[in-house]
Amino acid sequence: MSLRGYVCVVTGAGGFLGQRMVRLLLEEEKLAEIRLVDKRVQPQLREQRNYDQNKTKVSVFEGDIRDGDFLRKACRGASVVFHIASLIDVIGAVDYSELYGVNVKGTQLLLEACIQENVVSFIYTSSIEVAGPNPNGDPIINGTEDTVYTCSLKFPYSRTKQEAERRTLQAHGEVLQNGGRLATCALRPMYIYGEGCRFLLGHMADGIRNKDVLYRTSAQEARVNPVYVGNVALAHLQAARSLGDPQKRSDIGGNFYYIADDTPPVSYSDFNHVVMAPLGFRIQEKPMLPLRLFYLLCFLLEILRVMLRPFVRIVPPINRQLLTMLNTPFSFSYRKAQRELGYAPRYTWEEARRRTIEWLASQLPKERERIRA
């Protein structure tokens, strides 16, 4: 089903996935309007008409996602909301109140705005981290939406994303002001990579400082299945098309879907090497410390952080929860999204890797210059 004539709202439109989503919508659909919602929208995004062959109206809404009146204005007359905006933090750099305010309260306010403004479809960008891994590091290999897994989430980020996902799915079927019904679903992408990925840039910068040797924080056997940003955007579009289909709407609504592609399973550290080796980077054969000693060091840093909290705030670059995530085999299948949403990865692993390497190559001189300065 096409979204022809729809008014679509994209929150987090200035971010990594948000920009790709906007571009895909302008390239693929004959929309009446697309609304770019973010705290700040970069000047180049205001010129998105350059991508658009169908002269879709592009509107910019700059504001705070915790502002209900602002969200109602952004949603007025819209048909579909792609809720991509969130705060991401796995090292404890952001206060929990800030994470909760943006990730949970912002989502709740946006759902309420959709109900008040009669938006019929809501697609929430969740995260693989709402599934785990648990503190024990119990593995999942090629898991599905039906995989049973006992998990007590430790990351504040994971907990807020899980709560926002729960509220989104719970809102499926809510009665709109005009008597219609809201349909919602959530997508759980694996670790997203591709052009614009700030995490890859961060690892590259660390490698430059370490004489072009990438740090190893993951054991080789701790395989995960990253997913290319272009395929994640496509999954969102397919979800919107499916929710717009009266025959599929009731079956899909209220469900979550894992989103992956055919990127080969590999550890987080080895994935960094796969996309940076062509640029001349090597990787440590083993972590700097044995894993158990690494955990102990993280524990001591956490104690130090608590002791110093009344006087100074320190944020260690790694903690026990992050170390567990980096060293737990945790991979999932996208077959349910394929069956029910009609999702099929558009970009092969070879093309996704090539595009990512080309982008990293374009950033490398800037990173070297920045670090030298």
Q: 36-85: per-residue pLDDT in tens? A: 999 988 776 666 554 555 688 999 999 999 999 999 999 999 999 999 99
Share of the chain above pLDDT 90, in %: 79
Query: Where would I find the H helices in 216-348?
Result: 229-243, 246-252, 268-276, 291-308, 320-326, 335-341
CA distance 185 to 258: 11
Say yes or no to pLDDT of 260 above 70: yes
The confidence score (pLDDT) of residue 344 equals 97
Q: 315-364: per-residue pLDDT in tens? A: 888 888 999 999 999 999 999 999 999 999 999 999 999 999 999 999 99
190: its two tokens:
């694996």
Burial class, 68, CB count within 10 angstroms (exposed 0-12 / middle 13-18 / buried 19+) = middle
Q: Rounded to the nearest 10 degrees, how much is the dihedral formed by the CA atoms of 116, 117, 121, 127?
A: -70
CA distance 93 to 155: 12
Q: Using an 8 Å Cβ cutoff, are 258 and 185 in contact?
A: no
Closest CA to 231 of 273, 280, 297, 187: 187
Say yes or no to pLDDT of 173 above 70: yes
User: Where does the pLDDT of residue 132 fall: very low under 50, low under 70, confident under 90, or very high at 90 and above?
Assistant: very high
Q: 263-301: per-residue pLDDT in tens? A: 999 999 999 999 999 999 999 998 888 888 988 998 898
Share of the chain above pLDDT 70, in %: 97
Closest CA to 235 of 176, 267, 288, 189: 189
CA distance 151 to 133: 7
CA distance 111 to 81: 9
Q: What's the first-to-final CA gap in the chain, in angstroms?
A: 52
CA distance 7 to 155: 35
Query: What is the reported pTM?
Result: 0.95
Q: Rounded to the nearest 10 degrees, how much is the dihedral formed by the CA atoms of 152, 156, 162, 166?
A: 110
Q: Across-strand partners of 330?
A: 140, 224
CATH topology of domain 7-194+226-264+329-348: Rossmann fold (3.40.50)
Q: What are the φ/ψ torsions at residue 265 (nearest 5 degrees)?
A: -60, 135
Distances (CA, A) of 254 to 1, 165, 169, 193: 19, 10, 5, 27
The owner of tokens 């999954």 is 235
DSSP assignment of 122-161 equals EEEE--GGGT---TT---EEEE-TT---------HHHHHH
The confidence score (pLDDT) of residue 33 equals 94
Spans of all domains in the chain: 7-194+226-264+329-348
Say yes or no to pLDDT of 373 above 80: no
Active site residues: 161
161: its two tokens:
């994303």
Mean of pLDDT values over 311-317:
83
Q: Using an 8 Å Cβ cutoff, are 219 and 267 in contact?
A: yes
The confidence score (pLDDT) of residue 80 equals 98
The confidence score (pLDDT) of residue 290 equals 87
CA distance 119 to 113: 8
Helix 198-209 to helix 268-276 angle (10° resolution) is 80
The mean predicted confidence, pLDDT, of the chain is: 93
The confidence score (pLDDT) of residue 54 equals 61
The confidence score (pLDDT) of residue 46 equals 62
The confidence score (pLDDT) of residue 1 equals 76
CA distance 225 to 2: 30
Q: What are the φ/ψ torsions at residue 219 (nearest 5 degrees)?
A: -70, 145
Q: 75-130: per-residue pLDDT in tens? A: 999 999 999 999 999 888 899 999 999 999 999 999 999 999 999 999 999 999 99
